[in-house]
Amino acid sequence: MNDLFEYWQLLLIPLFFGLGWAAARVDMRQVVLESRALPRSYFQGLNFLLNEQPDKAIDSFLEVAKVDSQTVELHFALGNLFRRRGETERAIRLHQNLIDRPDLEEEVRLHALSELGQNFLKAGLLDRAEEIFNKLSGTTFEMEAKRNLLEIYQVEKEWLKAIEIARELPDGVTQQQVAEFYCELAANEIMRSKPDSARGYIESAIQQNRKCVRASLLQGDLLLQEGKPEAAIEAWQRIEQQDPAYLALVAQRLLDTYRKLERRDEGIALLRGYLERYPSLDLLDVVYQLILEGEGTESAYRLVRDELQRNPTLLGLEKLMSARLPLAPPDVRGDVELAKTIIQGYTKRLSRYRCDNCGFKARQFYWRCPACGGWETYPPRRSEEFDQTL
């Protein structure tokens, strides 16, 4: 019985082989037929890509898109490529032509409309982009459209609209970001001397993010504007519990307020304590000015020297040379001045803030990176300090 079973198995082998060969012939015939149906421009485009000639390849694929009305995916691919390359006008024309086709399926038309909105956004045509994204409400592209609307409202500084959209986007929008939107509103109201509305926005920011440093900073500014310097100092001091790295941003405010209250010694003690616990070049600058005014050049020099020994940096060395210059004997003062000038040449690129997200550098501190749009992505310390913590 076993021998008979094995015999029939052997007979089945050529049968299966023959069936596989026949199927392969059918598949190959189909492939050949489909390849013959493709325009010559398609193969020219592939050839240009293989020969690293992308511009010529794009022209060839555009020709394919013109002669074949079914190349929808090719339209999308080319449109996205144009947008990434910054050729927004070509991307707009391509997607607009796709939308204008009378035989286009509704879902494909909505996809093309979404792509067209992104083209307008990339081109800076925000009104036209907003109009298109609003049209996508209630469709399968609604959430993506709202994310783009959120970006538009941030660029246009329409913070109330941004907050409204953020509430409709449970994913991707953090409480930290929404708190920053409220802070933007509060800052505008403070500038316009509208304390009541500013106070309301600050409270909303704190409700969104209790560790929002900017809210405490603005609260102090508002209290100072209302003639309450002691309360302003208390608001700024809360930053130590929220994130002490940001104390450098309020150090100058604290200095000026203590001066107005004629409580310089108390201010010096507070800021020196901050500097000892949370070393910072910006904080050192403020404390240096306090010591220089209150205790004289020699004490200010010793402060910088001690801080440089604890945290050696080129920026600190430049500050040391500045502090040493008035104390230097006349015969070596020129050498100290020369050393200071040389060091300044090296420290110009180090005295900048750098975005954690994209690496963009700036001479001033930003709550929102002007390059990548990230919120609170700038550590409140200079590039040299940043590099030392990596």
Specify if 53 maps to a domain. Answer: no
Q: Please check if 355 is assigned to a binding site.
A: yes
Are 302 and 321 contained in the same domain? yes
Are 131 and 111 contained in the same domain? yes
Q: Which residue has the tokens 């489909």?
A: 34
Each residue's pLDDT tens digit, 326-385:
777 776 667 667 766 766 665 566 567 888 888 888 888 888 998 888 888 888 876 545
Are 158 and 188 contained in the same domain? no
Specify if 133 maps to a domain. Answer: yes
Are 94 and 157 contained in the same domain? yes
The tokens describing 278, both together, are 């949370």
- The pTM for the full model equals 0.72
Q: Please check if 369 is assigned to a binding site.
A: yes
User: In 3-state terms, the chain is what percent helix, strand and coil (to 5)?
Assistant: 75, 0, 25
Check residue 230 and give its pLDDT: 95
Check residue 335 and give its pLDDT: 67
Q: Which residue has the tokens 């040299």?
A: 384
Specify if 46 maps to a domain. Answer: no
Owning domain of residue 226: 174-242
The tokens describing 354, both together, are 């750098």
CATH number (domain holding residue 332): 1.25.40
> Into how many domains does the chain fold?
4
Are 231 and 318 contained in the same domain? no
Q: Please check if 212 is assigned to a binding site.
A: no
Among 167, 190, 214, give the residue marking a domain's end: 167
pLDDT band of 32, cuts 50, 70, 90? very low
Among 201, 221, 242, give the residue marking a domain's end: 242
Question: Under DSSP, is residue 299 helix (H, G, I), strand (E, B) or coil?
Answer: helix
Are 263 and 306 contained in the same domain? yes
Question: Under DSSP, is residue 263 helix (H, G, I), strand (E, B) or coil?
Answer: coil
Specify if 59 maps to a domain. Answer: no
Specify if 16 maps to a domain. Answer: no
Each residue's pLDDT tens digit, 88-107:
888 888 778 778 877 778 88
The tokens describing 32, both together, are 């050949």
Specify if 13 maps to a domain. Answer: no
Are 364 and 338 contained in the same domain? no
Are 255 and 313 contained in the same domain? yes
Specify if 3 maps to a domain. Answer: no
Among 145, 167, 189, give the residue marking a domain's end: 167
Distance CA 25, CA 114 (A): 42
CB 379 within 8 A of CB 361: no
CB 216 within 8 A of CB 235: yes
Measure the N-to-C terminal CA separation of the chain; round to a whole number of Å.
76
Residue type, 14: P
Q: Please check if 183 is assigned to a binding site.
A: no
Instruction: Out of 69-73, 141-145, 162-166, 251-255, pick the least confident.
Output: 69-73
